[in-house]
Amino acid sequence: MPPHEDAGTLHGEQHPVNPGHDVATLFGGGKPVILQVIPTLVTGGAERGCIDMAAAIQRAGGTAIVVSAGGPMARELDRHGARHIQMPVQSKNPFTMWRNAGRLRALIAEHGVDLIHARSRAPAWSAWWAARGARIPFVTTFHAPYNYKGRLKKWYNSVMAKGDRIIAVSGFVQQHVTESYGVEADRLRLIHRGVDVDIMSPDKVTQARMAQLIQQWRLPEHQRIVLLPGRLTRWKGQGVLIDAIARLGRPDVRAVLVGDDQGRNNYRQELEDHIRMLNLGGQVTIAGHCNDMAAAYMLSDIVVNASIEPEAFGRVIAEAQAMGRPVIVSDLGAVKETVINGETGLVVPPNDPEALAGAIRAALDLDPLQRQAVGMDGMRHVRANFTKAGMCAATLAVYAELL
C-alpha cells in the first residue's frame, strides 16, 4: 500500500451518546413517542435506518411509530415492538399530501406524539404541515443530495431543510445541504449511516455459508475474488471494473458483480456482451442478488466501489472494512469518507480502469502480514466511527436536544 494519506474523512459535528443510555435518562425522565415518516418499506438505506431507529427507540423505553405506504420490511417493526401505520405517504399528488397532513395531525393527537422525523420529500411536506399545526419538533434526514435544475424543484426539495434539526448522512451530503439551502450550522447534524457489526463480523461467518456461495456462484478454488456489491446500474461502475480486469491480465483473478438488476435487463445484457467481447467469461461473474453479504465479503480478497457518480454514503465499503477486507473506492462523493487511503484501502480516480487495475494489483500483492494489518485497521476504523449503535445513539441525542 502507498504511504498513509488521509482521504478526507469527515465526521462533522456529532453528538454521541452512550448507546446503553435509556430514554428516561436521555430525556430527563420522559418516555417520548417518536413518529417516523417514510414513503415505503420495500428496500434501501433510508428504510433500514428508519427500522434501526424504531428498534433503538423501543429498546430505550420510548414508543416508536412508523408511517409508510407499506412493504415487506414492515414486518421487522413488529419484531421490535414498534407500530406501523399504513398511509399513502409515497404520493406526490398535492391533494393527497395535504390529506396526509390531516391524517398525521390526527395520529399525533391520538398517540401523543412528541416529535416527527421525515426521511423523504413527499411525506416530509405532510409531516411539516402536521408538526406546525401540532406545535411539535420536526426533524428531517437528507439521505442523499437532492439535485435540482429549476426553482420549482428546489422549492420542492427545500422541505428537507425546514427541520428544527436536519441530519446529513455524510460530509458530502452535509456540504450539499449547506451550499444549496443555506442551512445554519446550529440546525445541521452529521450522522453517518452505521454498520451492524454484530452481523458484519468475520467470526460470525461459518465455512458452510461461504461454501454455499462458492457452489451457487460456481467459483473455482484457484482464483482470487474481487467483489463489487451494488445494484446493476451504469453509475455503479460495473463496466469500469470489467475493463480493469482486462487490463490487469491475471487469469487467477475473478471479479464478482453482486446485485440485482431491478429490471435493467438491457444493461445486464450490455455487461454480458462486454464480458464476451473481452474474452473474460472465466474471469467475471454476474452473481445477481445475494442474501448473505457477510459471507460474500468473507469470500473476497478485495471489495471495490467503482462508482462514476457520487455516493451519498456507500454502506458496502464500510461493511467490507468491518469484515476485515481491503477496499478500493472511487474518489467521488461520500464513499471515500469511510476509507483511510493507504491504510484501510485505496482511493482511485473515478472511471479510470487503468488506475483501478493498478490498485487491484497493489492490494493483491500484499503479503499475509500486510493484509492482516489492513484488515484489522479497517475493522477498528468502522467500529470507532460507523456503527449502527453509534448512529442510533447520535440520532437519539438529536431528539433529546429538541425535547
Nearest to 330 by CA among 153, 172, 112, 120: 172
Angstrom distance (rounded) from CA 223 to CA 181: 49
Of 69-78, 239-248, 258-267, least confident by mean pLDDT is 258-267
Helix-, strand-, coil-residue percentages of the chain, each rounded to 5:
45, 15, 40
The predicted pLDDT at position 262 comes to 79
Given a cut of 60, whether residue 10 has pLDDT beyond it is no
Of 2-11, 151-160, 333-342, least confident by mean pLDDT is 2-11
Which pLDDT tens digit goes with each residue over 151-203? 899 999 999 999 999 999 999 999 999 999 999 999 999 999 999 999 999 99
H-type helices in 35-120, by residue range? 45-59, 74-79, 94-111
Domain boundaries, the chain: 23-194+387-402, 202-385
Mean pLDDT of 39-58: 92
Q: Are 139 and 115 in contact (CB under 8 A)?
A: yes
Helix (H, G, I), strand (E, B) or coil at 268: helix
Confidence of residue 11 (pLDDT cuts 50, 70, 90): very low
Helix 121-134 vs helix 94-111: crossing angle, to nearest 10: 50
* Neighbouring residues of 383: CB distance < 8 A, sequence distance ≥ 6: 197, 322
The predicted pLDDT at position 5 comes to 37
Q: Which CATH class is domain 202-385?
A: alpha beta
Mean pLDDT of 28-41: 89
Given a cut of 70, whether residue 300 has pLDDT beyond it is yes
Mean pLDDT of 368-395: 95
Mean pLDDT of 383-387: 95
| Identical fold between 23-194+387-402 and 202-385 | yes
What is the DSSP-derived secondary structure letter of residue 86? Answer: E
Strand arrangement of the beta sheet that strand 327-330 belongs to: 284-288, 253-258, 224-229, 302-305, 327-330, 345-348
Given a cut of 50, whether residue 33 has pLDDT beyond it is yes
Given a cut of 60, whether residue 7 has pLDDT beyond it is no
The predicted pLDDT at position 260 comes to 87
The DSSP result for 184-225, as a single string, is -GGGEEE----B-TTTS-GGG--HHHHHHHHHHHT--TT-EE
User: What are residue 225's DSSP bridge partners?
Assistant: 254
Confidence of residue 14 (pLDDT cuts 50, 70, 90): very low
Confidence of residue 4 (pLDDT cuts 50, 70, 90): very low
The predicted pLDDT at position 150 comes to 82
Element of type H or E holding 183: none
Nearest to 10 by CA among 197, 189, 236, 140: 189
The three cell numbers of residue 154 are: 428546489
The three cell numbers of residue 341 are: 487511503
Q: Are 304 and 328 in contact (CB under 8 A)?
A: yes
Of 22-31, 58-67, 124-133, least confident by mean pLDDT is 22-31
Given a cut of 50, whether residue 97 has pLDDT beyond it is yes
What is the value of pTM for the model shown?
0.87
Which residue type, as a one-letter code, is found at position 274?
H
The predicted pLDDT at position 198 comes to 93
The predicted pLDDT at position 26 comes to 63
Confidence of residue 25 (pLDDT cuts 50, 70, 90): low
Q: Which fold does the domain 23-194+387-402 belong to in CATH?
A: Rossmann fold (3.40.50)
Which pLDDT tens digit goes with each residue over 204-258? 999 999 999 999 999 988 899 999 999 899 999 999 999 999 999 999 999 999 9
Which of residues 167 and 14 earns the better pLDDT score?
Answer: 167
